Each structure stands twice: as C-alpha cells, then as structure tokens.
Chains A and B, each alone.
Chain A
Amino acid sequence: MDGQLANKITGYGGKEAGEPVSSFVKARRRRGQLVIALLLLILLLTLGTGVILGAVKIRLSHLVRALRLWPDSGLPVDDSTKAIIIELRLPRALLAAMVGAALALAGACFQALFLNPMADPYILGASAGAALGATLAFLFPVDQLPFGIGLVPLAAFTGAAVTVLLVSRLARSGNYISLYGMLLSGLAVSAFFSALVSLLMYFSHQRLQQIVFWLMGGLGRANWLYVRTSLPYFIVGAAVVQIQARALNVLLLGEETAASLGVEVERTKRWLFLGASLLTATAVAVSGPIGFVGLIVPHVLRMLVGTDHRLLLPASALGGGILVVAADTLARTVIAPTELPVGLIMALGGAPFFLSLLKRRPPL
C-alpha cells in the first residue's frame, strides 16, 4: 500500500505507530511450534515414567534394553520384567495417551463449535450413551466375540455413537443444525440415558460393582488389542478435525460471519461434529468416561498457544495425552498394588485446578 494513499484514506496523516503484523504472526507461529515440541518431549518423558513406575519397579536401563532403544551389551532383561514392560505397562501408557489426546481434541472442537469455553467432549451425550451401552453389556454378557475385543467397549462405542447421531438428528431442521438445539437435546438425552443407567443399576445386584467401577473410568483392561483396535478410529477422528482447523478458527466469529468469509458452515459443522464425536466415542469405549481432560486441557493450552486451532489442536492432543498418562500412573501407584480409577483421580485433581484457573483469569 502506498503510504500517501493510506494517509488520504485514514484521514489522519502521518504514519501510525504499531508493531508490524508480520513479526507478530511469525512470533506466534514460532511460539506455538516451541510449545508443541516441548509437549512432545514431556509426553515421551511421561510415557517413560509411566512404564517405569508401578507395583513392580522397573529400572530405566531395563526399559531401554527391553525396547532395544540403545545398542547394549549388558545383561539381558529377564522375561518377567520384559513381559511387564511390553505386555502390560506399554500398551496401557499408550492407550492412556490416546484417550487423553482424543478427549482433549474433542473438547477443543466442541468449545469452538459452541463458542463456549465450558463445553466438554460429553456435551452431546456421548458418555451417557456409552454408559447405557456398557451397562447393558454387563447385564447381558456374551462370552466370546469374533474379534476378542470384548462386548463392553463395543457396546459403549455403539451407545456413544448412536446417542450423538440421535442428538444431532433431533437438533436438525432441513439442512441446518442448530447449535442451541444440539446443546439442549444433548442435555435432555443425557439425562434420560443416565436415568436408564440408574434404573438398570438398581436391578443389577451382583453386577453393580462392575458397572460402578466402569462408570468411574479406568484403563485397567488395556492391552495391545485395545490399542490396535481403537487407534484407527483415533487417527481418522484426529485427521478430520485437524483438516477443519482453519475453518474452526473462522467459526469462532459466529456462523453468519464465517459464511460471509467463505466457509461452508453446515458442511464444516457436520465434519467437526463427526470427527469430535468419533474421538469421544473411541475414548469412552476403551476407558469409560474420564472427565475434565477435555475441559481443562484446551483451556490451559489456549492460554499458551492462543486460539489458532492449527496449533491449538495438536497442542491439546499432546497435553491431553500427558495429563491422562500422568493421572493413570498416579492411579496405579498411590495405593499400589490396589488401583484407583483414573477418572476419580482426574476429578479430584482436575476440579480444584480448574477452579483456581477461573479465579485467576475469569472467562470471557
């Protein structure tokens, strides 16, 4: 822009002060990349710590040797230690990371879609639907399923998926999905399904403990099969929301403005709901409902990297992974050899932490 013309237009005359936007854009991008690199490092460290700590202590050198991370001529690791690392701790830590990443991604999406920093992954009733599915599976157990994955996660996934589809169908008129309608029917359907779960629990007698334990959320059943089965869903869901990341930024300005800025709003919304719901359903299927991750993590990372979802989404995924791996490690170790449900740890630690955040920085 020619300076003189600009002055004519502003009608002020004289060049205005102000840091150039280019340096700001560059700085923001660099900061985001730095945060993501740091989070990746912390995630790796947390995963390592999660594998080492537990009822059976494992030395770092054993971990390094068992995973062949370093060419080493020292003593071989004995088989039981190796089995603990490879068959128990490692899949569990990876599953925890995936669950955390999925919940944080879904939370970031829903918060942006609903223009509300208080939205969480379960806002469309995924947890209530999954709970209903899981409860039914506990009450009518089938011994063997074709893929060996177990009936409970399958039923939980189906319950979550069906609920979200039902809610979005209820909120839809013609080609248009109303966000308020989505929010309200999510609440109503959640309440209804939770009541059904309570009803089933009331008559479940000897299965009650299993159901209650599942509802608290935990990763006790983790194995490689869980990781292998759920990973593709996670990857698809994460890819779908990451592809829409820039459109999600524009949606922060409101639907009408987004449309006037060239975003195909309804199509974008549909993809985002689909991706975020797939992530939520996958997480809740393998771990039961774990609260606060999807609420806190995007909130904290928004303070660190800003509201650009191209950076915020990957950062949230890493942050969510770190949080759940750490919480699960804690759940396994505080009163080892007994385990606490990780959902319980999260709620106990998460709620006060969240309150302290709100106190320090009131939401806009």
Chain B
Amino acid sequence: MNKKLLEVQEIRFRYNSAFALKDLSFELTAGEMIAIIGPNGSGKSTLLKCVSGLFQPEQGNITLAGKNIFDYTARERARRVAVVPQETALAFDLTVAEAVLMGRQPHLKPFQRETPADVAKVEAALEQTGIRSLSQRSVPTLSGGERQRMLIARALAQEPQLLILDEPTSQLDITYQGEILGLLQRLNSHCQVAALVAIHDLNLAVQYFDRFILLAQGRILAQGRAAEVVTDENLRQAYASRAVEIIVNRHPVHQRPFVTVYPKQQQAFEPSGRKKGAVE
C-alpha cells in the first residue's frame, strides 16, 4: 500500500511574469491525505490545477502512477484523478442524479450509454455521501453543504485513485465543514482514495489531516505532520502581516496545534506567558 501515486518534481509555473510556483516538489503515496495550507496567492489553487492536468508547468515533472500526467488523455486521467471544484455552473436545471451520472463520463466509450453497472456506481456514490434522498432534486435548489456533497459524489463516481479538492469547506457553516472533512476522512480510510486538499481553515485542517504542505509565495515552506508544520515561526513567515498577530497553542481537548489570530494593536488581548510573540 506504500506505492507512490503522485510525484511532483521541481515544478515551476507562471501566469504572466512572476512565478506562481517555484521549484516545488513533493510526493503522495496511494491512499494518503494531504492538506495544502498557505495564505491567499501562495499558489495552492495553481498547484492543484497543475496536478489535475489543467495547467502545464513550465519546468519539472508531475508523475501520476508512474506516467507523466500530460501523457494521459483527458479521459484516462479522469479515471484516476477527480477534481471537486469550489463551485459548479448552474445555467441549466440538472437533477442531482444527472449531475452525478456525469462522473461516469470518463468510463464510457464513444456513443455508449450508461449501463446498469454505471448507475449502480452512482447509487453507491450517492449513498456514501448521504444524498440518496436528494437524487431527484434540482441542483440549483440545493444548499451549500448539499451541493458540496453532490460534487464529491460525482468525483467518487469517477472511481478515482486521487481526489483533488479546492477549498471544500470555505462556503459552509461550521457543522457542514466538519461533516465534509469527516466524510473525506472516512472515504479515505474505507476506500483508500488519496486526497489533496487546499484548505484555509488551519484549526479545522489539523483535526482531519495527518500530513501538511505549507505554501508561501509559490514555494514549500514546510511539510510534514501538524506539529512540525503548524508552528509559530512557520505561520509568521508564511502569513507575514502587519495587522495581525498569530499564535499557536495546544488545543486543550485534542492536543493538536491551535492557531489564534488577533489584531496587533490590542496588546491587552495577548495571553500571558507568550510575550516574545510581539514582533515589531
């Protein structure tokens, strides 16, 4: 089970002049879950788009299951990697079942119709994500959390080895955030689907992920377990800000890192015993 699924080697990518990703390398083994954290504009989404084959890096290699990701046809790649987007186009009125059925697209031959086996896989994906009862609902009428589940169900219907999620929780309330990440965790442990997840909420991420990659200005600043990555120094360096102060404590319940952010002016708010945190 320790097979290398994804290998990113020294990739560089730029939109216009400045590099959005600079000499970035990491590996992901089959069935592993990695959270990609970092400030806005640090290259999280760009990295995910490179790994899903949408953007081609200027330099470096991305290898998926032993083969360069750009040597796959779109269809072959879609059978291994599924992307859960932040939002979905809603110009037309699709039902949940129809939208999830599209996840079978990469498995269908030209002119082939969905077989009962395809439909069964869609049923399973709806069941796993807990939205079977919504299968006849029209997508535009779904709530944010339901829509996120629908997008994950579609990705599962692709039967991928790797799920790529860009900010899956950013538009959800606190209970849905936990539900979605919990669902991912269970999918990961029961079905051995690997996942690469860009996520903003550090305190949420540390509870659900074991491995982290911290990006800052297109480079990897740190990677490893939560305790190694989510630290005072790393976060201050990554999220260098004049306006807020960042402090990392241990959470009293789960003992994992706990990040607190507060405005720099309000010195009174600073907890005692952490005086060296006031950097000028």
Residues of A that sit less than 8 Å from B by CB: 1, 5-6, 8-12, 16-22, 24-25, 112, 115-117, 243, 246, 249-250, 252-254, 256-257, 259-265, 302, 306-308, 310, 364
Instruction: Indicate if the CB atoms of B85 and A257 lie closer than 8 Å.
Output: yes
Instruction: Indicate if the CB atoms of B105 and A262 lie closer than 8 Å.
Output: yes
The interface residues of chain B lying within 8 Å CB-to-CB of A115 are: 89, 91-92
B61 within 8 A of A: no
> CB-defined interface of B88-121 with A at 8 Å, one 1/0 digit per residue?
1111111101110111011010110110100110
Instruction: Indicate if the CB atoms of A10 and B127 lie closer than 8 Å.
Output: yes
Complex Cα gap A12–B91 (Å): 32
B42 within 8 A of A: no
The interface residues of chain B lying within 8 Å CB-to-CB of A24 are: 95, 97, 135-136
Instruction: Indicate if the CB atoms of B123 and A256 lie closer than 8 Å.
Output: no
> CB-defined interface of B124-156 with A at 8 Å, one 1/0 digit per residue?
101111101111100010000000000000000
Instruction: Indicate if the CB atoms of A257 and B89 lie closer than 8 Å.
Output: yes
Instruction: Indicate if the CB atoms of A253 and B123 lie closer than 8 Å.
Output: no
Instruction: Indicate if the CB atoms of A306 and B85 lie closer than 8 Å.
Output: no
Give chain B nearest CB distance to A184 CB in angstroms.
18
Ranked nearest first, the 7 interchain pairs of A and B with the lowest CB-CB distance are: A262-B78, A262-B106, A1-B124, A18-B132, A262-B75, A115-B91, A260-B83
Among candidates A10, A249, A256, residue contacting B130 with C-beta atoms closer than 8 Å: A10
Give chain A nearest CB distance to B132 CB in angstroms.
4
B77 within 8 A of A: yes
Minimum CB distance partner of A8 in chain B: B190
Among candidates A1, A254, A256, A265, residue contacting B128 with C-beta atoms closer than 8 Å: A1
Complex Cα gap A215–B54 (Å): 44
Complex Cα gap A261–B83 (Å): 8
* 20 further interface pairs, Cβ-Cβ under 8 Å (given A364-B92, A364-B93): A6-B128, A9-B186, A10-B130, A11-B130, A21-B101, A25-B119, A115-B91, A246-B108, A250-B102, A250-B105, A252-B91, A252-B94, A253-B89, A253-B99, A259-B74, A260-B83, A261-B105, A262-B79, A302-B93, A310-B113
Instruction: Indicate if the CB atoms of A253 and B108 lie closer than 8 Å.
Output: no
Complex Cα gap A115–B75 (Å): 22
The interface residues of chain A lying within 8 Å CB-to-CB of B116 are: 22
Give chain B nearest CB distance to A313 CB in angstroms.
14
Instruction: Indicate if the CB atoms of B187 and A308 lie closer than 8 Å.
Output: no
B183 within 8 A of A: yes
Instruction: Indicate if the CB atoms of B90 and A256 lie closer than 8 Å.
Output: no
The interface residues of chain B lying within 8 Å CB-to-CB of A265 are: 74
Minimum CB distance partner of A253 in chain B: B89
The interface residues of chain B lying within 8 Å CB-to-CB of A18 are: 126, 132-135
Instruction: Indicate if the CB atoms of A19 and B130 lie closer than 8 Å.
Output: no
Among candidates B88, B97, B120, B182, residue contacting A254 with C-beta atoms closer than 8 Å: B88
Complex Cα gap A22–B136 (Å): 12
Minimum CB distance partner of B157 in chain A: A261
B52 within 8 A of A: yes
Instruction: Indicate if the CB atoms of A6 and B124 lie closer than 8 Å.
Output: yes
Give chain A nearest CB distance to B191 CB in angstroms.
7
> CB-defined interface of B53-73 with A at 8 Å, one 1/0 digit per residue?
110000000000000000001
Instruction: Indicate if the CB atoms of B123 and A20 lie closer than 8 Å.
Output: yes
B82 within 8 A of A: yes
Give chain B nearest CB distance to A274 CB in angstroms.
18
Complex Cα gap A253–B101 (Å): 12
- Residue among A21, A262, A263, A307 facing the most chain B CB atoms (10 A cut-off): A21
Minimum CB distance partner of A16 in chain B: B132
Please list 29 pairs of residues, one from A and one from B, whose beta carbons are closer than 8 Å in the complex, sorted by A's number: A1-B124, A6-B124, A6-B128, A9-B187, A10-B130, A10-B183, A12-B130, A16-B127, A16-B130, A24-B95, A25-B97, A116-B91, A117-B91, A246-B105, A253-B102, A254-B85, A254-B88, A257-B89, A259-B54, A260-B78, A260-B85, A261-B106, A261-B158, A262-B75, A262-B77, A307-B93, A364-B90, A364-B92, A364-B93
Instruction: Indicate if the CB atoms of B183 and A9 lie closer than 8 Å.
Output: yes
B122 within 8 A of A: yes
Give chain B nearest CB distance to A178 CB in angstroms.
15
B81 within 8 A of A: yes
The interface residues of chain A lying within 8 Å CB-to-CB of B94 are: 252, 307
Give chain A nearest CB distance to B45 CB in angstroms.
11
Give chain A nearest CB distance to B111 CB in angstroms.
8
Instruction: Indicate if the CB atoms of A117 and B92 lie closer than 8 Å.
Output: yes
